[in-house]
Amino acid sequence: MLKKREYPILEFDTCKKSFTEPSELIKPIDIPECCVITFFREVVEKKNENGELKLIAELKSETLTIPVYETMYEGKRVALTLGFVGAAASAAVFEELIAFGAKKFIVCGGAGVLQKDIAVGNIVLPIAAIRDEGLSYHYLEPSREVEANKHAIQVIENEFINDGIKYIKAKTWTTDAIYRETRDKIALRVSEGCVTVEMEAAAFFAVAQFRKVILGQILYGGDDLSGEAWDLRNWNSRKDTRENLVDLSMKICLKL
């Protein structure tokens, strides 16, 4: 019997089987075991327009449909799809990709930076995420942080080093509430070692642990939250950075 707690978010259920299991609702398909989830829609659209992608599935919700594609990278099959912004939605997409049959994942996207010296486009490798969202508490027992997969971190680091890519290895802050990132809360997260803030990492890490699949994440520095005022820095217009990061993610995913 599940014990009632003071706050519902702390009522973690150790039962592994859900009332609605993705594997019972979704039939496996011929999907590559390596899958890149990106938040750079324009990169995926460009690859599709260039004839590089083949549609293999669709993830449908009440508000939109997310296509799942197959592409080739250096002669090997890779799945490519878009993340759904926010922890809960991205976790649902992730669950369904696992149910389809994918087993190894790299997620790439942007993040707000919490340190002024992190320039737009600087690469960040998150090793853990502060769990300031709700989704992860349904997959793992309550804790302050959730760690990224160590094997994925090592593979990503090796590739960065081999390719001479400079990067920052640190914690990230995952929050649901983009309009409640207060100065005091930002200062607290910085004191805990976070250099970025985003909306999905803790959820991805938690689901990956629960489902026993490999997932790593790569972030690049976007808008700046470290000063007195928010600075957009035109982070989402850096097309070359975003395209290169998707290709790099495919390369790394095949090595997991």
CA nearest neighbour of 131 among 256, 5, 2, 12: 12
3-state secondary structure of 255: coil
- Number of residues that make up the chain: 256
pLDDT digits (tens, 9 = 90+) for 83-140: 999 999 999 999 999 999 999 999 999 998 888 777 667 889 999 999 999 999 999 9
CA nearest neighbour of 51 among 66, 70, 79, 37: 70
d(CA 7, CA 214): 31
Tell the CATH superfamily of the 26-253 domain. Answer: Nucleoside phosphorylase domain (3.40.50.1580)
pLDDT digits (tens, 9 = 90+) for 200-219: 999 999 999 999 999 999 99
Q: What is the DSSP letter of 240?
A: H
d(CA 146, CA 203): 9
End-to-end CA distance of the chain: 39
pTM, entire model? 0.92
